[in-house]
């Protein structure tokens, strides 16, 4: 009886700790979301303008200059940019989340990963609003083709969030010790934009290169989201590369668990380094 009571007490304490951690994460994410637009005249519109301005530039270049005539190119490009912007916003905010809260880390005890997860959830809030606006506006205009296959967008969003969170945990831990990572990530994200099939369909990639392109999870995710929402006739990634489509999914899992492992290993050194 005593052993049962002890186990029940331990489970209760763990459940309460999880509840407190979840509450803290939620409050930090919501507070960061509100502070992000505090004092701004346009407020949330800035988060909408960023992908729209990038879309406008890319659309003008590829349609006006290179005469891109592919069916529904504009909507494919917009969806790709919104997905990619969510990824970069999530990683960019998460990378600096530990270094920017040195005083809090030194003074209070709480799971340090809460800061990274809260930053990622703040980016996720913006992404959900942007994607919802696209669906609400574009669907009645016939620019999106919504059906049962559109349900695949949910696991695809989970996939991009997993790889973004994994990178956020990894880079936030390393950024505490190596601030040059900020500049490296800025350059890498620009290169990654053109390597993620944002401005071109993956089906246009030569067959011999598809296995390499689809090692990038973002290329696989963006291509499948296009199929699910914009072009029903577009191929799923697995039809382009066969069984190799498991590679980007496996890489997402590896990045998530690898980033978590590195973060946990370096957590004890955060307070001293900051």
Q: How far apart are CA 225 and CA 80, in angstroms?
A: 8
Nearest to 98, CA basis, from 21, 34, 182: 182
For residue 157 the two structure tokens come to 């969003």
Quick one: DSSP state of residue 269?
G
Q: At a CB cut-off of 8 Å and minimum separation 6, what does 37 contact?
A: 43, 44, 46
pLDDT digits (tens, 9 = 90+) for 182-219: 899 999 998 899 888 888 877 777 777 777 777 888 98
Nearest to 179, CA basis, from 105, 41, 274: 274
pLDDT digits (tens, 9 = 90+) for 65-88: 766 777 778 888 888 999 999 999
pLDDT digits (tens, 9 = 90+) for 102-153: 888 888 787 888 999 999 999 999 898 888 888 888 888 778 888 888 888 9
For residue 171 the two structure tokens come to 């880079």
Query: What is the torsion angle, in degrees rounded to the nearest 10, for the CA atoms of residue 91, residue 217, residue 267 and residue 26?
Result: 60
For residue 236 the two structure tokens come to 């799923």
pLDDT band at 270 (very low <50, low <70, confident <90, very high): confident
CA 208 vs CA 191, 202, 211: distances in Å: 21, 12, 7
Highest mean pLDDT among 9-18, 29-38, 166-175: 166-175
CA 273 vs CA 98, 103, 113, 157: distances in Å: 11, 12, 17, 34
Q: How far apart are CA 260 and CA 172, in angstroms?
A: 11
For residue 88, the model assigns a pLDDT of 93
pTM of the full predicted structure? 0.88
Q: How far apart are CA 91 and CA 192, in angstroms?
A: 13
For residue 172, the model assigns a pLDDT of 94
For residue 253, the model assigns a pLDDT of 92
């Amino acid at each position: 009886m005593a052993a049962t009571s002890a186990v029940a007490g331990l489970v209760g304490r763990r459940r309460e700790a999880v509840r407190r951690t979840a509450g803290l994460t939620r409050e930090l994410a919501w507070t960061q979301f509100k502070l992000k637009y505090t004092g701004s005249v346009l407020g949330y519109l800035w988060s909408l303008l960023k992908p729209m301005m990038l879309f406008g530039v890319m659309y003008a270049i590829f349609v006006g200059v290179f005469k891109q005539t592919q069916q529904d190119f504009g909507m494919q490009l917009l969806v790709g940019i919104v997905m990619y912007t969510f990824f970069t916003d999530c990683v960019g905010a998460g990378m600096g989340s530990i270094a920017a809260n040195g005083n809090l880390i030194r003074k209070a005890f709480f799971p340090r990963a809460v800061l990274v997860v809260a930053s990622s959830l703040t980016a996720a809030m913006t992404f959900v609003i942007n994607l919802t606006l696209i669906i609400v506006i574009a669907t009645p205009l016939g620019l999106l083709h919504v059906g049962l296959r559109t349900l695949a967008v949910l696991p695809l969003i989970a996939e991009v969030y997993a790889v973004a969170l994994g990178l956020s945990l990894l880079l936030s831990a390393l950024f505490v010790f190596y601030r040059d990572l900020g500049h490296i990530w800025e350059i890498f994200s620009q290169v990654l934009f053109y390597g993620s099939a944002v401005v071109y369909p993956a089906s246009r990639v030569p067959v011999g290169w598809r296995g390499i392109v689809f090692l990038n999870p973002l290329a696989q995710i963006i291509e499948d989201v296009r199929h699910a929402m914009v072009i029903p006739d577009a191929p799923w990634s697995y039809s382009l590369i066969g069984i190799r489509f498991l590679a980007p999914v496996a890489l997402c899992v590896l990045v998530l668990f690898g980033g978590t492992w590195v973060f946990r290993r370096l957590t004890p050194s955060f307070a001293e380094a900051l």
